[in-house]
Structure 1
């Protein structure tokens, strides 16, 4: 659905040049979640709702879509704020998933309009484009970057280079460990940090080029359950895993 609704969408509205330059000067992400307001986004959301309506889905998912259709502008705006604040209530997860999917598309289009050479690091655990936490990180096999690690943003899809064997959340290099499901292919592991007590998944994309930083985070829920038994907290945010 996300791919299919892109054609014909209005161009997203980037923040004014002055605001982007100020963000650059102060080491801040150019896309400010707290100041998000865009008519172009709600066009994206409306298209996604329409396209999703035509897809066969479980009753619970259909009911959630109906609730979103009936939501007032103020209620939709509140859902947007919840997703951008990484604060989705578990009992309202279903309808927020559709909003999150539309926000992913909208922010990915915004990020694509930026000049990558103007981006600056904004700190550990933060996307240099929108400030969001990494959903996971990947060891890639790209030509010229084989073996390098990149963090992936769950909102705008930006990938940024990050040192290996270092917590992607707090930046610590002490007490870093790796957990994987026994008997698995070894392509998805949880990188744990004793300093902050959290973990973020690391995908070995150089072994399996088909791995996706968001989709395969969801697909490896069993790994989350395994790591949780060791006392580590999930440190990444994925709107499709809220409640787990």
Structure 2
């Protein structure tokens, strides 16, 4: 991997092709995780992180499989959703989730994840999660939703985060995308979570538009190009990539807040996944951080790196 970064003063992709993109696109839980599993498996071939990417592929397949027969998640009532909309708040309140509402999803994931190939450390972490009391598991759920995962228990929390992604994707899928409103820079309009990355799409009617990808529920929301997805600044925005790469994954850096979020050019490579390719381009994170920028996005599968 070349140890250089190629800076760019502006995003070179044409933006004149955009025609009335939708504000939000809700996740489709059924294919979401199976496609991500396929992407991770494809990325693993010949990759320095190959074993880890294959583990994540197996975990994403678990996320897909545990949905069959899973009871429908309990939605906030219509009045609560309308109240949230009127105050510019997300209809799914990640800060107010009762941990037991996701207990069945977590239980299923723990059982299914027991069958996949994993390292000794990952197996030990799963055993600790199995043995945890309901109260302890509830604490882990709250840690993930508060983005406050303790360093000494990162591995256990990866499984909890995977279960919560399934739970919130299924919740978000039941919303009305037309009823979602902006709730602030760097916040998903469905659940309020930060983005994992942003993508430039090639969809018909929205070609060249940029969407942020929620790190929790998987909702995509339209966001202006050449603007920091975290602080909203349009000044000091730059794009960095590893020299000699395909130019499909870059780090959008912001001098105003000192952070960066990756931007994936999915219109050039439709196979790019906002979560999977974020993990697979860890080398870009390392180089950009060496330049003094902080990672501003959240990916539960990169915590600790």
TM bracket (short chain)? over 0.9
Distance 1:38 1:81 in 2: 7
- The reply to whether residue 157 of structure 1 matches residue 218 of structure 2 is yes
- The reply to whether residue 199 of structure 1 matches residue 260 of structure 2 is yes
What is aligned with 1:13? Answer: 74
Aligned mate of 2:240, from 173, 179, 185: 179
What is aligned with 1:85? Answer: 146
Distance 1:241 1:140 in 2: 24
Mapping of residues 121-160 of structure 1, within 5 Å: 121-160=182-221
Contact 2:99 / 2:141 at 8 angstroms: preserved in 1? no
CA shift for structure 1 position 52: 0.5
Gaps of 5+ in 2: 1-61
Contact 2:201 / 2:208 at 8 angstroms: preserved in 1? yes
Distance 1:185 1:134 in 2: 23
* Helix, strand or coil at the partner of 2:63: coil
Aligned residue pairs, count: 244
Contact 2:169 / 2:218 at 8 angstroms: preserved in 1? yes
* Helix, strand or coil at the partner of 2:185: coil
How big is the alpha-carbon RMSD for the aligned residues of Structure 1 and Structure 2?
Answer: 0.8
Aligned mate of 2:127, from 61, 66, 71: 66
Contact 1:167 / 1:176 at 8 angstroms: preserved in 2? yes
Structure ranking higher on relative contact order (CA contacts 8 Å, 6+ apart): 2
* Helix, strand or coil at the partner of 1:208: coil
TM-score (norm 2): 0.79
Distance 2:70 2:99 in 1: 13
Aligned mate of 1:225, from 269, 281, 286: 286
Deviation readout 1:181-204 (Å, 9 max, x if unpaired): 111111100000000000000000
Distance 1:61 1:201 in 2: 27
Distance 1:104 1:232 in 2: 27
CA shift for structure 1 position 239: 0.9
CA shift for structure 1 position 39: 3.9
Which portions of structure 1, spanning 4 or more consecutive aligned residues, are displaced by more than 3 angstroms?
none
TM-score (norm 1): 0.98
What is aligned with 1:94? Answer: 155
Distance 2:294 2:96 in 1: 29
* Helix, strand or coil at the partner of 1:2: helix
Deviation readout 1:80-128 (Å, 9 max, x if unpaired): 0010011112221100000000000000000000111111100111000
